[in-house]
Structure 1
Amino acid sequence: MPARPADKLLSHYDANARALPWRNPPGSPPMDPYRVWLSEVMLQQTTVATVKPRFRRFVERWPTVEALAAAPAEDVMQEWAGLGYYARARNLHACAKSVAATGGFPRTADGLRKLPGIGDYTAAAVASIAFGEGTAAVDTNVERVIARLHGIDRPVAEARPDIRRLAAAMWPRDRAGDFAQALMDLGATICRPKAPLCGECPLAADCVAFASGTPEAFPGPKAKAIRPHRHGEAWWIERDGAIWLVRRPEKGILGGMAALPGPEWATAAPTGRAIAIVSHGFTHFTLDLHVTHRAAPPDSEGWWQGLATISEAGLPTLYARAIEAALAAREARADAA
């Protein structure tokens, strides 16, 4: 009897599984659900290469969900700096508090979905990998694999119900966690968006997209949305080798993060002369941040941060780049004088 695609993939995973700090080897007992959950949150919109050292540092500082729950929110946000999508850090802390208060993680996807910041995919991934529940964990990589395997040439947004149904139908109940990770690995390393390595794929003989000769055409491309552009102003307030920093409001973009002070971002560029301008892309819009001089701190809470210790402030990438640009511009002016 020919091997099922699921069996082929699991055999390939047994021999080729990536060694990652949040995984146990194939066939081993499940990893601590805290580490599974933490890795899944960190990996949202962030590459494995970026996450690995940050994950290790995070669990060294907070080795259990109870330790994370007891940490000050400001410390968690500071440790998250540079990983982006900062609502994840706020939800991470809230979720840790909820789990610690109830004595542990729920063992089912339905129970996990009730926790702060856990959506359908993360709930399914934690339930399958940490607890062995036979729930299909379908992320972007898995959607691509399933669409190519079955020759779905519609955009994923249109085909998602069919993709999820097909994924659930092939999900083995006896090795649910290993299968989830096997599909993730396949999508990340072989069934890539561009230049897929079909010659190395254990599912090539079963794959409609491969048989077509144009596997990259599956799934169909999504329509490109035009992102609006905004402008922001960040005030450079300096005294005795230190600059004035504030903490952004808890809700909203970069919520709770350290930042240069300034007004709300708008569609029109500020009129003041900029020391430096940095461009940054968010998911739904692009931004030019204009760094301008201001004589005195605004009438709001904040603190003086020494420029010599600015790396310890926990700045998100946008503001770290803005400060680097302002300092570089000042050095260039000094050299030209």
Structure 2
Amino acid sequence: MEQWSKETIAAFRKTLLTWYDENKRDLPWRHDHDPYHVWVSEIMLQQTQVNTVIPYYERFMSMFPTINDLAAAKPEQLLKAWEGLGYYSRARNLQRAAREIVNDRHGEWPTTAAGLQELTGIGPYTAGAIASIAFGEPVAAVDGNAFRVFGRLLMIDADITKPATRQLFAETIDRIIDPQRPGDFNQAIMDLGSSYMTVKNPDVEHSPVKMFDRSYETGHVLDYPVKTAKPRPVPVDYVALVIHTPAGYLMTKRPSTGLLANLWTFPLVKVSDLLKDDEQETDLMDVDIVSRAEQAFETETEIPVSLALIGGRAVTHTFTHLKWQIRLVSAELSTVPDISLFAGEIVAESAFDQYPMPVVQQKLWRRWQAASKK
């Protein structure tokens, strides 16, 4: 790993911050240093691109302009505001932390990275970002951009998928960060990592800090940061039941814990749950899957249905560790059924905007709309 002298560190700070002052992105959460604004934006930016986040952030702030508004929001309202961003535990943790600040801390924010990490859902990176930007603490905010920028600048050989490596980067950056402008320093690294020092096709030749980039000098830019490959998401097959009645569609609310908690979808049946002893999923023909899904639904709800398979490729949706592959089956009921045993509601299409629905449900709905027009 390259080690910088005090003179090199001073020169790097000046070069980086001069570039940032002249080229920083105009983002809505950068218009002030309010910790609430910084916090919400950083949570939204986890696993999500900046251009996608901007309209969500602006809508979220119009709905919950203060941390008190967020703490008092109804869960359904919160999830609806987050709809489409995915990783919904982020939204639930936001509200938990908001309530901790409002109720347990009487509205007082922790002002250090260590204190911020005591709040629900705030890890080392988010704590570093809030502490440096909102409170001026000279502490690193180590995210993917920081791994990439400093991994290349200093040719750090440590594997960033290992927990201990984050601490190594944090300690390294803490020695380099500008103590007078730590927030701007961290945001400059974010901008650098999303422009000249991207994952693929970096433009290092025009990078404002190329003179400090050891990997560029040695021709090894794409070898950094060092990262072992993630395992592929495990495929899981489902059947989605699109059951339409004169009053609307049968919809179920996901459990309060686990994937897509408290969000609404068409009833989903895992194909593996339809197997008999010693059967494999590959043993089932489409007709077997449809008939067993039909039987399972009728047994559970006492609602008789005649399901038909909707053709075409399965709808796919990938989570971090799972890849859902969903085939649609449909039924049209001429009367409104008794849903006393059905774990859900009948929802009119006109009322969909009142129910928080995940992206995978939106994909299923688009597939159903396309199929029903044929």
Q: TM-score, normalised by structure 2?
A: 0.82
Segment of structure 1 superposing worse, 123-132 or 302-311: 302-311
Write out per-residue CA displacement over residues 268-306 of structure 1, whole angstroms, 9 at most, x where no aligned residue.
488115336311111101111222236654724433222
Tell me the equivalent position of 2:328. 291
Distance in 2 between residues matched to 1:4 and 1:257, nearest whole Å? 51
Match of residue 223, structure 1, among 224, 229, 234: 229
Match of residue 5, structure 1, among 6, 12, 15: 12
Tell me the equivalent position of 1:271. 289
Write out per-residue CA displacement over residues 228-280 of structure 1, whole angstroms, 9 at most, x where no aligned residue.
11012322221125112222111101111122223457484881153363111
Tell me the equivalent position of 2:363. 321
Match of residue 20, structure 1, among 9, 17, 27: 27
- Number of aligned positions between the proteins: 327
Distance in 2 between residues matched to 1:65 and 1:151, nearest whole Å? 41
Distance in 1 between residues matched to 2:229 and 2:363, nearest whole Å? 31
Tell me the equivalent position of 1:40. 42
2:135 aligned partner, one-letter code? F
Q: Does structure 2 conserve the Cα–Cα contact (< 8 Å) formed by 1:241 and 1:307?
A: no
Distance in 2 between residues matched to 1:242 and 1:116, nearest whole Å? 38
Matched, 1:331 2:370: no
- The two structures, once aligned, show a CA RMSD in angstroms of 2.1
Tell me the equivalent position of 2:344. 302
Distance in 2 between residues matched to 1:207 and 1:275, nearest whole Å? 54
2:22 aligned partner, one-letter code? A
Distance in 2 between residues matched to 1:118 and 1:220, nearest whole Å? 25
Tell me the equivalent position of 1:100. 102
Distance in 2 between residues matched to 1:246 and 1:104, nearest whole Å? 39
Runs of 4+ in 1 over 4 A off after TM superposition: 264-270, 294-298
Distance in 2 between residues matched to 1:134 and 1:266, nearest whole Å? 52
Distance in 1 between residues matched to 2:324 and 2:340, nearest whole Å? 23
- The alpha-carbon distance between structure 1 residues 328 and 193, as it changes in their structure 2 partners (threshold 3 A), is same
Segment of structure 1 superposing worse, 311-320 or 119-128: 311-320
Tell me the equivalent position of 1:202. 208
What is the 5 A alignment of 1:68-147? Answer: 68-101=70-103, 102=105, 103-147=107-151
Distance in 2 between residues matched to 1:197 and 1:266, nearest whole Å? 47
Segment of structure 1 superposing worse, 89-98 or 271-280: 271-280
Distance in 2 between residues matched to 1:318 and 1:265, nearest whole Å? 17
Q: Does structure 1 conserve the Cα–Cα contact (< 8 Å) formed by 2:142 and 2:166?
A: no
Unaligned runs of 5+ in 1: 25-29, 333-337
Distance in 1 between residues matched to 2:180 and 2:201, nearest whole Å? 33
Write out per-residue CA displacement over residues 80-104 of structure 1, whole angstroms, 9 at most, x where no aligned residue.
1100111111111111111111213
Distance in 1 between residues matched to 2:58 and 2:266, nearest whole Å? 29
Unaligned runs of 5+ in 2: 1-6, 274-280, 291-307
What percentage of residue pairs aligned between the two structures are identical? 35
Distance in 1 between residues matched to 2:78 and 2:128, nearest whole Å? 25
What is the 5 A alignment of 1:116-195? Answer: 116-158=120-162, 159-195=165-201
Segment of structure 1 superposing worse, 311-320 or 140-149: 311-320
2:88 aligned partner, one-letter code? Y
Q: Does structure 2 conserve the Cα–Cα contact (< 8 Å) formed by 1:65 and 1:96?
A: yes
2:310 aligned partner, one-letter code? I
SS at match of 1:157: coil
Q: TM-score, normalised by structure 1?
A: 0.90
Segment of structure 1 superposing worse, 10-19 or 226-235: 226-235
Distance in 2 between residues matched to 1:298 and 1:231, nearest whole Å? 28
Distance in 1 between residues matched to 2:95 and 2:174, nearest whole Å? 31
Tell me the equivalent position of 1:58. 60
- The alpha-carbon distance between structure 1 residues 213 and 126, as it changes in their structure 2 partners (threshold 3 A), is same
Tell me the equivalent position of 1:27. none
SS at match of 2:119: coil
- The alpha-carbon distance between structure 1 residues 37 and 217, as it changes in their structure 2 partners (threshold 3 A), is same
